[in-house]
C-alpha cells in the first residue's frame, strides 16, 4: 500500500468469544421468490434481528460460515473487487468456494479492476461472474444521446447496476456484501444480518463492524490481491467516469461522484432511505 492513503482508525481490540446461532437449515423460511420480492413476516424479521445481534461480535469467518450453513446454495455475493470484497473472497475460498459470486460489469470499470478478477481467480480458484446490462455502453449511450453518467448518474446506476443485481440475484435467498458501518452515514446502521427490502433478500455484511485498518491489515498479512489503483490514491473504486483519486485527509469515498451530491450508487440504500 502506498503512503498516500491515510489511516486514521486505531486498531481494534480482539473480540470476546460469544456463541452464535446454529443454522438448522430451514430454520428461516425462503424469503425470496422467483418473481417479485415478498414482504417478510414480523416473525421472520425478528429472527433476522436475533441472528444479527448474536453475530455482532463474531469474526467475518464465523459470519460467513454461518451464512453458508444457513443459505447455501441460495447464498450469493456481489463484489466490485474493493478491498472488503477481496477479503471476503479469500475467506470464502477457505469456507466454500462454490458460493456464486458476481460483479456488476457496467462497461465502465477500470481495466485494473477487471485484471484483479483474473488475479483472484488465479489465487483462489474463484472466477467471479461478470453480470452485464442488456445494452452495451455504445448502445446505451446512443439510446440516450450521450453518456448518462453525465446527464443523470442516478439513472445510469439504476440501469447498469441495480437492474442487473435484481436479475442476477433472482432465485437466491441471501446476498453478502462488503460494506462497513464506518464508510458513510448511510452505512452506519448496517446490521450483520438484515432484510434488504429493495432486492427481497436477506443481506449479510460480514465486515460491517470492521474498519479500514482491519481490512488492510488482513490484506497485507495474507497477501490478498487488491486493486493496484489503491496504490495510486484511489481508496474507493467504482466506474472510471465517476471515480477520482483523493488527497490525504479526504474522506475515503470523496472520490466517488466527486462534485455532485450523489454518494451511493443505490445498491446499499433501502427503499425507506431514498
Ligand atoms: S457509477 Fe457512474 S458510470 Fe457507473 S453506473 Fe453509476 S453513474 Fe454509471
pLDDT per residue as tens digits for the range 199-230:
888 999 999 999 999 999 999 999 999 999 99
- In this structure, the residues whose C-beta lies within 6 A of any atom of ligand 1 are 106, 108, 149, 153, 156-157, 160-161, 238-239, 241-242, 265
Distance CA 44, CA 195 (A): 9
Measured CA to CA in angstroms, residue 49 lies from 26, 61, 114, 195 at distances of: 17, 20, 36, 9
**16 CA to centre of ligand 1 in angstroms:** 40
- The pLDDT score that the predictor gives to residue 239 is 95
Q: What is the mean pLDDT of the chain?
A: 84
**19, 66 Cβ separation under 8 angstroms:** no
Percent of the chain with pLDDT over 70: 82
pLDDT at 1: 41
Atom of ligand 1 nearest to the CA of 256: 1
Q: Are 123 and 86 in contact, with CB atoms under 8 Å apart?
A: no
Q: How many Cβ atoms from other residues are within 10 Å of residue 249's Cβ?
A: 8
Which is the CATH superfamily of the domain at 42-273? HUPs (3.40.50.620)
Q: What is the CA radius of gyration of the chain?
A: 18
Ligand 1 atom closest to 159 (CA): 5
CA distance 85 to 1: 17
The 10s digit of each residue's pLDDT in 93-108 is 999 999 999 999 999 9
Q: Ligand 1: distance of its center to the CA of 142 in Å?
A: 16
Which atom of ligand 1 lies closest to the CA of 238?
1
Q: What SS3 state is found at 23?
A: coil
**Does residue 157 carry a catalytic annotation?**
no
Kind of pairing, strands 75-78 and 174-176?
Answer: parallel
Q: Where are the alpha helices (DSSP H) in 55-152?
A: 60-71, 83-95, 111-124, 137-143, 148-151
Cell output for 259: 462534485
- The backbone torsions φ and ψ at residue 63, rounded to the nearest 5 degrees and listed phi first, read -65, -45
pLDDT at 181: 95
Q: Whose CA is nearest to atom 5 of ligand 1?
A: 157
Does residue 6 have a pLDDT over 80?
A: no
Number of other CB atoms surrounding residue 256 within 10 Å: 23
Place 156 in a pLDDT band, splitting at 50, 70 and 90.
Answer: very high
What pLDDT is attached to residue 269?
Answer: 62
CA 45–ligand 1 middle distance (angstroms): 32
| Residue bearing the CA closest to ligand 1, atom 6 | 157
Residue 170 has pLDDT above 70, yes or no: yes
Q: Residue 26: pLDDT above 90?
A: no
CA 256 to ligand 1 centroid distance, Å: 10
Amino acid at each position: 500500500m502506498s503512503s498516500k492513503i491515510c489511516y486514521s482508525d486505531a486498531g481494534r481490540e480482539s473480540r470476546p468469544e460469544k456463541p452464535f446461532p446454529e443454522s438448522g437449515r430451514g430454520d428461516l423460511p425462503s424469503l425470496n421468490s422467483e418473481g417479485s420480492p415478498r414482504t417478510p413476516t414480523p416473525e421472520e424479521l425478528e429472527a433476522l434481528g436475533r441472528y444479527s445481534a448474536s453475530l455482532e461480535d463474531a469474526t467475518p469467518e464465523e459470519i460467513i460460515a454461518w451464512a453458508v450453513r444457513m443459505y447455501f446454495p441460495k447464498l450469493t455475493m456481489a463484489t466490485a473487487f474493493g478491498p472488503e470484497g477481496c477479503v471476503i473472497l479469500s475467506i470464502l475460498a477457505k469456507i466454500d468456494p462454490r458460493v456464486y459470486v458476481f460483479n456488476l460489469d457496467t462497461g465502465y470499470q477500470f481495466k485494473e479492476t477487471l485484471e484483479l478478477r483474473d488475479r483472484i481467480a488465479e489465487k483462489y480458484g474463484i472466477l467471479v461472474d461478470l453480470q452485464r446490462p442488456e445494452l452495451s455502453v455504445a448502445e446505451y449511450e446512443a439510446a440516450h444521446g450521450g453518456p448518462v453518467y453525465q446527464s443523470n448518474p442516478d439513472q445510469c446506476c439504476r440501469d447498469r447496476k441495480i437492474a442487473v443485481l435484481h436479475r442476477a440475484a433472482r432465485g437466491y435467498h441471501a446476498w453478502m456484501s462488503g460494506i462497513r458501518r464506518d464508510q458513510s452515514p448511510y452505512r452506519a446502521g448496517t446490521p450483520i444480518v438484515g432484510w434488504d427490502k429493495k432486492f427481497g433478500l436477506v443481506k449479510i455484511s460480514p465486515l460491517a463492524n470492521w474498519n479500514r485498518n482491519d481490512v488492510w491489515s488482513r490484506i497485507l498479512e495474507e497477501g490478498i490481491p487488491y486493486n493496484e489503483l489503491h496504490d495510486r490514491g484511489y481508496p474507493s473504486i467504482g466506474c472510471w467516469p465517476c471515480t477520482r483519486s483523493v488527497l490525504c485527509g479526504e474522506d475515503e469515498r470523496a472520490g466517488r461522484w466527486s462534485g455532485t451530491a450523489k454518494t451511493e450508487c443505490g445498491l446499499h440504500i433501502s427503499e425507506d432511505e431514498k
